[in-house]
Chain A
Amino acid sequence: MPKSITVDRVSKTYGSGEDAVHVLDDISISIPEKQFVCILGPSGCGKTTLMKMMDGLIDLSAGEIRIGDNVITEPTPEAALVFQNFELFPWRTTLENVELGLEILGVDKSTRRERARTWIDRVGLDGFEESYPSELSGGMQQRVGLARALCVDPEVILMDEPFGALDAQTKDKMQTQLLQLWEQEKKTVVFVTHDIRESIFLADRVLVMGTKPSSIVEDIEIPFERPRWKRRVEIENDERFAEIEQLLRERLGLKAEEEPEVVQ
């Protein structure tokens, strides 16, 4: 069962004394189960830090994070993290990369092979089971990263700018595919991005972080109904889309986009 995520008055300071960097300041977020949340924020504001804390990889300086009723103190199989820069094992094939989590959980070889193959198919990588990451394009590599996270069947999926390193076209495709997967089988998703339009297209709800020490400066619902994956053009042309985009730009401290003048 997908679980809720509660971030309860969390702060984070790296280092101590003169070198201390206060990154996150008293952040509280409550994400109900099966919600798809995007987090927007300027570079260096602590998005990765927050994601890794939710995954149990980094200790909190104050506060508490819960997945369902469990307080997170170390990584659990309930949450899976998709890393900002893929982090695939270069000496493992697609299949071996995807089954990593199950291998660590001690699932026997034939079962984990089968489940890994299923996920490889679902993310559209069939035929590349035996390829090494260096033989795959960036988009394909992140599919492997996605399949690796989903393969352990987590309740909660944490995605840290998963498409940040991809070109626009590949990114479009990946977004559509992600929605298609998610809209079939809803899980709780936290998705960090720099890309405002991406966040509006994907999320039920968008949170904006300020500059460090950051807190949440905006929290809005995205009204477009689901399934959305087939309706990108329609959604992006909706006037509410432009309004939300404008609002988010302002909250991120970006100037209004000026229409370039068309010279006839």
Chain B
Amino acid sequence: MATADESPLRQRLTLSMDDRNHQLILQAGFGVFLLALYSAFAYLGYPSERIPSILMIVEALQVQIAEEGLLGAVWDALYAIFIGFFLATLVGIPMGILMGVSRTIEELLDPYVNAIYVVPYAAIVPALIVWFGTGIRIRVAICFLFAFFPIVINSFEGARTTPEGLLEVAESFNASWLFTMKNVVLPYEIPYILAGLRMGIGRAVRGLVLVEIIVAVTGLGGLIQNWSAAFRLEGVISVVLVLMFLGVTLPWLMGKVYDRLIWWDVERAGF
């Protein structure tokens, strides 16, 4: 995050750390603090004797990498996330744009798009298992469904809020519909689309976590299931950490892409 443009309010409680390294040191330091806190609880055996030490968790990780195909499972998970996310992008962006530029299409699709958001996924996973099996396909399906909503909604919002004035400029030169879409709506949309993609990838990861937990037969979920059946908490925690790692890094990477691609932004343009 940039510290240069902070509001006065935030500046009061922000140490001056323009230097990226200082931020990293602060974040890493806090991580060490959390680890130490956790270790203290594990060492004291409070609130339970059965808190695995960090060493045990690391060992569990090593065992899984060596013997239980953790990396393969991670690979499958990434694969499912990206395919699901990619399909959601493919459908969601054009659909959002069409909803944004046509009131009729908006009214037609709006309830269904919202419905996809509120589906109780945990409850329908059994049905999805029947349709998609317990392998890669159900993972892709859930990631798709999770990623779809933020992508379609952001793309819709961007198209819908395209400034009236810019549309009028194009119209005043008698621009065709296609020209206007390509040169007014779409460029204006890009920050919105990227914001949707960033949220979408985060939701895809959450969908994956859900599916791994519920379809605990193969993949990361299967590993968790095995460990927890054996009451080996260090194993469970190690897999959960892997999932958390994915959950943090993928949106972060997407954020990097976002910063790269954005060469103008809505706020600076004063819309």
Contact check, A87 vs B268: say whether CB atoms are below 8 A apart: no
Known: A75-B171, A91-B264. 17 other contacts (CB 8 A): A57-B171, A57-B172, A75-B173, A76-B174, A77-B173, A77-B174, A80-B173, A83-B168, A83-B169, A89-B166, A89-B169, A89-B183, A100-B173, A104-B170, A104-B173, A104-B175, A134-B268
Within 8 A of B (CB), among A45-99: 52, 55-57, 74-77, 80-81, 83, 85, 87, 89-91
Closest chain-B Cβ to A243's Cβ sits at a distance in Å of: 37
Is B165 positioned at the interface, with any CB of A under 8 Å from its CB? Answer: yes
What is the CA–CA distance of A134 and B270 in the complex, to the nearest angstrom?
9
Contact check, B172 vs A80: say whether CB atoms are below 8 A apart: yes
Mostly helix, strand, loop or mixed at chain B's interface? helix
Mask, B161-188, CB within 8 Å of A = 1, is 0010110111111111001000110011
Contact check, B165 vs A134: say whether CB atoms are below 8 A apart: no
Mask, B247-271, CB within 8 Å of A = 1, is 0000000000000000110001100
What is the CA–CA distance of A66 and B163 in the complex, to the nearest angstrom?
29
What is the CA–CA distance of A53 and B140 in the complex, to the nearest angstrom?
53
Residue of B whose beta carbon sits closest to that of A158: B172
Residue of B whose beta carbon sits closest to that of A79: B172
- Report B-chain residues with C-beta under 8 Å of the C-beta of A148: 169
Q: Which residue from A74, A77, A80, A89 sits with its C-beta under 8 Å from B184? A: A89
Residue of B whose beta carbon sits closest to that of A58: B168
Contact check, A133 vs B269: say whether CB atoms are below 8 A apart: yes
Is A152 positioned at the interface, with any CB of B under 8 Å from its CB? Answer: yes
- Report B-chain residues with C-beta under 8 Å of the C-beta of A57: 168, 171-172
Mask, A127-140, CB within 8 Å of B = 1, is 00000111000000
- For B, the interface residue count at a CB cutoff of 8 angstroms equals 22
Is A162 positioned at the interface, with any CB of B under 8 Å from its CB? Answer: no
The 7 residue pairs across chains A and B that have the minimum distance between CB atoms = A90-B269, A87-B165, A104-B173, A101-B173, A104-B175, A91-B264, A91-B187
What is the CA–CA distance of A187 and B200 in the complex, to the nearest angstrom?
53
Q: Which residue from B163, B174, B179, B268 sits with its C-beta under 8 Å from A75? A: B174
Residues in B lying within 8 Å of A, measured CB to CB: 163, 165-166, 168-176, 179, 183-184, 187-188, 190, 263-264, 268-269
- Report B-chain residues with C-beta under 8 Å of the C-beta of A105: 173
Most chain A beta-carbon contacts within 10 A, residue among B163, B176, B183: B183
* Contacts A83-B168, A87-B169, A133-B269; A104 near B264 (Cβ below 8 A): no
